[in-house]
Structure formats: C-alpha cells, structure tokens
Amino acid sequence: MRTTVLIVDDHPSFRRLARRLFEEAGFTVVGEAGDGRSAVASVLALKPDLVLLDVMLPDGSGIELADRLPPSTAVLLVSSRSADDLAIGSRRFMRKDELTLDRLRAVAAGAGE
Amino acid sequence: MTPRARLAWFVLLVAGPAFVVFGELGFWLNGIAPRETFPLDLGVSSLAIASGLVLWRLRPENRTGLLLGVAGILWTIGGIRAYRNAWAFGVGQCFDGSQDLVLAHLLIAYPSGRLGHRSLRVLVTAGYGLFVVGVLETITMDLPRRVNAFAVWHAPALHGTLSTIGSVGAGMYATTGIAIIGRRWLRAGYSRRRVLGPVLLAALFFALAVAVDEVVQAIVGSEPGIVFFPPLVARLLIPVAFLFGLARSRLDRLVVGDLVLELDASGAGTMQAALARALHDPGLQVGYRLDDRDEFVDSEGEPLVLPVEDADHAITYVGRGDAQLAAIVHERALLEQPSLIEAVSAAVGLALDNERLHAQLRNQLQVLRASRARLVRTADSERRRLERDLHDGAQQRLLALGLALNMLRARVEDAESAQLLAEAEEELATAVSELRELARGIHPAILTDQGLAAAARTLASRSAVPVEVVVNGGRFPPAVETAGYYVIAEALANVMRYAHAGRARIEIREAAGLALIEVSDDGVGGADSRRGTGLAGLADRVGALDGRLVVESAAGTGTTVRAEIPCA
C-alpha cells in the first residue's frame, strides 16, 4: 500500500513540482494546502500518512503547526532556509533543495517495508 | 494715575482725616455709642481710609483702594448723628451702616476691584438698595423733626417693617457673600489662594459677623448700651488684610534678587522650578522658543504645546527687544500682580536666554537621535524586506528549477545528458546555498521568527569555540533584538578571529528597563573598540537606540562586550 502524502506550502509552483516528485517516487499525494488553517482541515479530513510541511506559512509557523497535528500523522518539515536558522529542535527536517527523487524513493521503500 | 484720579486721591487724603476727627470724636463725645468701642471705631475708619489711600496710590488701576477709602469715610459719617442737630442726625442716620455695603462691594470685587460678571453687578446693585431702605427708615422714624430733620412721615408700623427688611436683606447679602467667597476659594489655584487668602479670611469673618449680628438684632432687637463686638473687629480686620496682602506682594518682589543668585548657582535646567517657587505657582511651566520657529520646547528640549489661555491659566511671553525668548504658563491669578511678573521676567532675562539655548541644543540633540534611530529602523526594515523578497522570489524559483532538473535527470537515458544535468543540479545547489547565506547575512530570519535567544543559540552553534548561552527573559522590541544580534555576531566573530579563547559565553537578560546583551571570552584580551569599524559601527547602532556599548578587554583577562539598550 502506497504511503499517502499531504503537501503544505504557500508557493503553488513548489506544490506542483513536489506533487510530481512524490508521485514519481512512489507516494500517493492525497491533497495540497496553501496555509496552516486549510492544512489542519485537510489532515483531519484526509488522514494522510505523511505531511510535507513548509516551516514558514502565511498564517503562522509550520513548526508550531506540526506540534498541534495528531501524533499518528508523520510530519516532514521543509524550508529553503537551513535548520540552523529555524530552531527546528528534534523534529524531522529537510531543506527543500535536498528533496530529490533518490532520497524520496529510499523513504518510500522504507515506509513500504 | 490720571490727573483726575490724582486730584480725587488728594481730596481723600485731606478729607479723610477731617471726617475721622469730625465723625468719630462727635460720636464718642456725645455718648451715642459706648466709650469702650471708641478705639475700635476710630481704628476702623482711620485704617480703612489710610489703607485705601495707600492701595489706591500703588495700584491706581484697581478700584480696591478707592472703595476702601470710601468705606472709611462712610463709617465716619454715621457718627455725625451724635451732634445735637436735627439735620446732622438725619444725615448720620441715613448713612449708618452704608460702609458695610461698600465693604461688601470691594470684597466681592477683590482682587481685581471690578465685578466682571453680570450676576455680581446685579447682586452688588441690590446690596446698595439696602441704603435706600435705610433712608426710608430714617424718614419714617417716630421722632420729632427737631431731633430728626428727615422724619417727615411718622409711620411706626412701616418703620418696623422697613427695619425688618433691612435686617433680613443684610443677612441674605452676607450669606450670599459667604457663598461667593467660599466658591472662589475652592476654585482658586495655589497662587490665587495665596493672594486671596488673608482678605477672603477677613471677608468670611466679616460676612459671618454681620449675618449673626443681624440675626441677633432681629431676635432680641438692638438695645442701647449692648454692643456686638465681632462686626467691629471684622471691619477692622479687612483693611489689615488688604495691607498684609500688599506687604506680602512687596516681599515677593524682594525674593527676585535671591532668584537671580539661585539661578547663577544652580546652572541649567532649574529655571522652571525656581520661577515656580518665586511666583508661588507649583504648576508653572516654561516654554523656550526655538530660533526662527514658532515652536516651544521644555528645558529637556521636548516639544511643548502651549495651552490655550483660559479662566485658570495665562501665558506671559518674555523677550529681549523684539525677540521672543520664552513663554511662562502660569495661574491667571498672577496677572493681578503684574509688577511681580515683570520684576521676575526682567531679573531672569539673561539666565532665561542661557536656558533657552540649552533647551534648544537638547532639542536638536533629540531630533538628531530620533533621526538616527529612524534611519536604523528603516535600514533594518529594508533588510527584512529584502531577505523576505529573496526567500519568496529567487530562492523559490531556483528550488522549483532544482526539483524539475532532478526529475528530468531520472528520465534521461543518455549518460552524457544525465551527466550534464547532474552538473547543472550541482551548480544550482551552489547558487541556492550562496543565496541562502546572502539572505542570512542581510537579515537572519530566525531573529524575526524566534527572537534573539534562538538566534544567539544559532550563532553559538556555528562558532568554532564552545559557547554557553544563558538567557533570562522574554523577547525585546525588534530594533533592540536586531542590534543585540549584530553585537553577538560581531563579538563571536572577534572571538574566533583574535581572542585565542578556549570558550565563550553569551548572556541575554533584562534589568531595570535595559536589555543587557553580553558576550565574554577567556581569551587574550586587548581588544580596542576604537580600532577598526566593527565595534565602532556597533556602538553607533546601539547608540541610535539610546543605548551604550561597553568593551572591557584588559590584556590577559579576556574580553567582555556588553550592550545596554533601553527596552521599556
């Protein structure tokens, strides 16, 4: 069974390309959200396995939002800035320029096992 | 004093003593009033006339002196009824008590001597109506015309009614006077109370005494030989109070000399307090006029909007020649002592000009400081905007391009093309990384998002020297956090470059309204903030926020860089 993903980012071009990247890597993208409020609604409605969550959202911090989501939902925080600049703590984080097909395929393979 | 007023004054000067001698001696010698009241009778009339002459001479524009003198004369006229002459009796009887009406007039009109409000004019006019009642009483007396030449209408019943009307009217007049005096006292400020105090106290005593006297007379009637002393004493106190007020005003002017000495000794910034003391007006304010501008500032150089003159406050402008130097906002009551204000203004002229120059300098300094702070804030704001634009614009487009290249490379089967695409991805990754560093250098996003403490921890984590971060307190205003961040970044950079330190420490805390940001190390010390532009530039940035940068760096004892920035 393929891992389901919700993509949350306020840049439409990034959401479009990320959707294709994840789908090519073997994930099923179940939805997209452009801000924190619609992200919460989508998580509750779609119950994705993974949320790709931008740290800087127009209506607040992605880090704070990640802490409010149900524990059953895995969250991968992403940003164009480095972790040093964001006080990520122990949360799972990846820079946006580190999102590659190879890495995602490895993640998908790990999740499927 | 106009020639006409001067002539009237001389008439009073000559006629006054004559009236005193003629009226009072006759009053006493012929035994109408008890002899024990003679000294008081004589004292009241003499003192009233003498005080009136003095006050009129010194303040000819004020009617108080004239009214006081007239009251003294009227007091003596009452005494001529003692001369065993029917006409003298009639005249004396008509004027008996009329001096109280004039005293009431001058007390209600005090301190300006003018009634001003229409209701007061109506009240005083009605009060003088009691004189007409007194004349009618004299006409209707049950006495033969050989005793009272004015007794042309023998009507004892009407006389009794008029007598009651006179007593009740006088009582009501006195009661209204008490109410007016009380209200005036309650509404007066410190300075006005000081002017009004002695006279209003005497007036209150006088009004109470007359009211009680009238009530007593209405109840028990006036009997020969029985004298109610309080009204007499009260009448005596009124001119005394006026003279006391005058003497106090003169003494106040003597203090002007002390004021000049005090200002010489105490230096700049003390003018307002000194003037407030000299003019007995604790709420007094001094506004200094800026050169070539119709604007005023206080002694600290803060802009001062002069209040609109109203019933309580007035403004006296002080100048030298045509140049307006300052404005003194004071209680309106002080205008009743124009000579005091003039004396004070003239005495402090030079000191006032000095103080004005100081205030102007402080104002310029404040304008400069505000301008510098504005420049720093604008620059910070522009840096934040630039960083945000880079993040939302170029960075996102390059990241999207990177994702597209990555997916394209996975689809290309030709090895050479795949290699080219891999190189392109690598170049792009370098560009993204450089752009990220550029954006961070322009403005660290973590500072805006997470605050100075988080930003300091990030800086510490990147340092090659172990750095301990101690934070005590919450977030500071954005400008303070930005300045603090650059202080920490520059200080840590210096630790790594020059200090040869084994460890460093960042401490951020708030104390007494100050944000204290300190970076210390255990290195070689010997840093000089005057050398190079790093620390000097930071000192400028901290100074723009009214803060200061302290560098302690004796050789061999490490270096401590501390920024103290107001954050309240």
Encode chain B (568 residues) as per-residue pLDDT tens digits.
Answer: 788 888 888 888 888 887 777 776 666 666 555 556 667 777 788 888 888 888 888 878 778 888 888 888 888 887 777 777 888 888 888 888 888 888 888 888 887 778 878 888 999 999 999 999 989 988 898 888 888 888 888 888 888 888 888 888 887 888 888 788 788 778 877 777 777 788 888 887 877 887 777 777 767 665 544 556 777 788 788 888 888 877 777 777 666 666 666 666 665 567 788 888 877 888 888 888 888 778 888 888 888 888 888 877 888 888 777 777 888 888 887 777 777 777 777 777 777 778 888 888 888 888 888 888 888 888 888 988 998 888 888 888 999 999 999 999 988 989 999 999 999 999 999 999 899 888 888 888 888 888 899 899 988 988 899 999 999 988 999 889 999 999 999 999 989 888 888 999 999 999 989 999 999 999 888 877 666 557 788 888 898 888 999 998 888 888 999 999 998 7
Mutation site for A-interface testing, chosen from B390, B395, B403 by largest number of A Cβ within 10 Å: B403
Mutation site for B-interface testing, chosen from A14, A54, A97, A100 by largest number of B Cβ within 10 Å: A97
Residue of chain A nearest B394, judged by CA positions:
A80
Residue A38 has pLDDT above 50, yes or no: yes
Mutation site for A-interface testing, chosen from B399, B407, B438 by largest number of A Cβ within 10 Å: B399
The beta-carbon contacts of B316-322 under 8 Å, at least 24 apart in sequence, are B316/B341, B316/B345, B318/B345, B318/B348, B318/B349, B318/B352, B320/B349, B320/B353
Of A87, A96, A101, the CB nearest to B399: A96
Local structure of A91: helix, strand or coil: coil
Of A11, A81, A97, the CB nearest to B429: A97
Mutation site for B-interface testing, chosen from A81, A94, A104, A105 by largest number of B Cβ within 10 Å: A81
Residue of chain B nearest A20, judged by CA positions:
B407
The beta-carbon contacts of A90-97 under 8 Å, at least 24 apart in sequence, are A91/A63, A91/A66, A93/A55, A96/A14, A96/B399, A97/B399, A97/B402, A97/B428, A97/B429, A97/B432, A97/B433
| B440 contacts on A by Cβ (under 8 Å) | 81, 85
| A82 contacts on B by Cβ (under 8 Å) | 436
Are B445 and A85 inside 8 Å of each other by CB?
Answer: yes
> Does A1 or B90 have the greater pLDDT score?
B90
Put simply, the chain B residues between 405 and 434 with a CB less than 8 A from any chain A CB are: 406-407, 410, 428-429, 432-433
* Pairwise CA distance, residues B406 & A100, whole Å: 6
In this structure, which CATH number among 3.40.50.2300, 3.40.1160.10, 3.40.50.10490, 3.40.50.720 belongs to the domain A4-105?
A: 3.40.50.2300
| B433 contacts on A by Cβ (under 8 Å) | 97
The secondary structure of residue A75, as a DSSP letter, is E
At residue B31, the pLDDT reads 57
A72 in contact with chain B, both atoms CB, cutoff 8 A: no
Cα–Cα nearest to B538, from B500, B482, B497 = B482
Question: ipTM, 2 decimals?
Answer: 0.87
Name the minimum distance, in Å, from the CA of B318 to any CA of chain A: 59
Name the minimum distance, in Å, from the CA of B487 to any CA of chain A: 18
* Pairwise CA distance, residues B353 & B359, whole Å: 10
Name the minimum distance, in Å, from the CA of A65 to any CA of chain B: 14
Of B403, B432, B444, the CB nearest to A17: B403
* Pairwise CA distance, residues B305 & B315, whole Å: 12
- In which residue are the tokens 């390059």 written? B398
Name the minimum distance, in Å, from the CA of A24 to any CA of chain B: 8
Are B396 and A61 inside 8 Å of each other by CB?
Answer: no
Of B397, B403, B410, the CB nearest to A99: B403
The answer to whether the Cα torsion of B241, B246, B251, B252 is positive or negative is positive
* Pairwise CA distance, residues B223 & B215, whole Å: 14
In chain B, where the domains are located: 3-250, 267-366, 369-442, 446-566
Are A14 and B396 inside 8 Å of each other by CB?
Answer: yes
* Angle between helix B118-139 and B98-109 (nearest 10): 180
* Pairwise CA distance, residues A91 & B122, whole Å: 88
In chain A, where the domains are located: 4-105
| A58 contacts on B by Cβ (under 8 Å) | none
| A91 contacts on B by Cβ (under 8 Å) | none
* Pairwise CA distance, residues B203 & B524, whole Å: 83
Residue A113 has pLDDT above 50, yes or no: no
Residue A45 has pLDDT above 90, yes or no: yes
| B454 contacts on A by Cβ (under 8 Å) | 87
Are B436 and A82 inside 8 Å of each other by CB?
Answer: yes
The beta-carbon contacts of A41-47 under 8 Å, at least 24 apart in sequence, are A42/A6, A42/A8, A43/A6, A43/A69, A43/A70, A43/A73, A46/A4, A46/A6, A47/A4, A47/A73
At residue B452, the pLDDT reads 92
Residue of chain A nearest B404, judged by CA positions:
A17
Return the CATH fold of B446-566.
Heat Shock Protein 90 (3.30.565)
In this structure, which CATH number among 3.90.550, 1.10.1060, 1.20.1070, 1.10.10 belongs to the domain B3-250?
A: 1.20.1070
Cα B364 to the chain's mean position, in Å?
24
Are A86 and B461 inside 8 Å of each other by CB?
Answer: no
At residue B256, the pLDDT reads 65
* Pairwise CA distance, residues B268 & B361, whole Å: 12
